[in-house]
Amino acid sequence: VARREALVKVCREHNLLILEDEAHGVLVEDRPPPLSYFAPERTILISSLSKAVSAGLRVGYVHAPPALVSRISAALRSTCWMATPVTLELATQWIENGTAEYLLRQQINEISRRKALVQGLLVGLEYRTHLNSPHFWIEVPEPWRASEIEAELKQNNYLIATAEAFAVGQTAVPQFIRASICNTSGDDQLLRAGFDALATALGQGGGRFHL
């Protein structure tokens, strides 16, 4: 909370608009209030049900200061015109009758279960994650580069993301890759095979990476 209050103070001092993405944030249990709670007059909060409830339910929400609502509405009309009524009605029903909350709990439990399946394959690697996050940020050891690991795995039909995809500006990009446990359809064997290939490419599990 103290960190968020400090960020809001800086944004107010410099008259900055805050764009806050909560699409994955709702997976985090006991999280602090969003930045929009501390600075409602300058924060646009964006969320979605596709990450937390159902991947096929492509419904998102925007919470914005009243002064910006008309401009945001006009921007939406000029790009996608409107939300699909059927999916929006389904999402509303699920939120009101508790189905969305039930599916969110299932999603959190499934993330924990899948991470437990693959975490042992990452022993010896430096990585960062959060208990409720579906992603691992893994440091690529010397002498390899993240792009080399990405290319090698892609040749074997395993897709990962590098930090380059999330970088802003022209500063040096850290050599990290992002691996997710959510992109397989309930196939534990395929999930473990993917992380085993990743560990091998990074020099773990008895294998070495070669171009």
Residue 11: pLDDT band with limits 50, 70, 90: very high
Residue 47: the pLDDT is 93
* Alpha-carbon torsion (118, 119, 124, 130), positive or negative: positive
Q: Is the pLDDT of residue 66 over 80?
A: yes
Residue 168: the pLDDT is 87
Q: Is the pLDDT of residue 185 over 80?
A: no
Q: Are residues 144 and 78 part of one domain?
A: no
Task: Please check whether residue 15 lies inside any domain of the structure.
Answer: yes
Q: Is the pLDDT of residue 208 over 50?
A: no
Chosen domain end from 72, 97, 122: 97
Task: Please check whether residue 35 lies inside any domain of the structure.
Answer: yes
| Strands in 52-140 per DSSP E | 60-63, 127-128, 135-139
Q: How many Å apart are CA 178 and CA 136, to the nearest integer?
A: 6
Cβ atoms of 108 and 27 closer than 8 Å: yes
Q: Is the pLDDT of residue 101 over 50?
A: yes
Residue 179: the pLDDT is 96
Looking at every residue in the chain, the average pLDDT score rounds to: 90
Domain span including residue 128: 114-201
Residue 175: pLDDT band with limits 50, 70, 90: very high
Residues 6+ apart with CB under 8 A from 76: 82
Tell me how many domains the chain contains: 2
70 has which bridge partners?
none
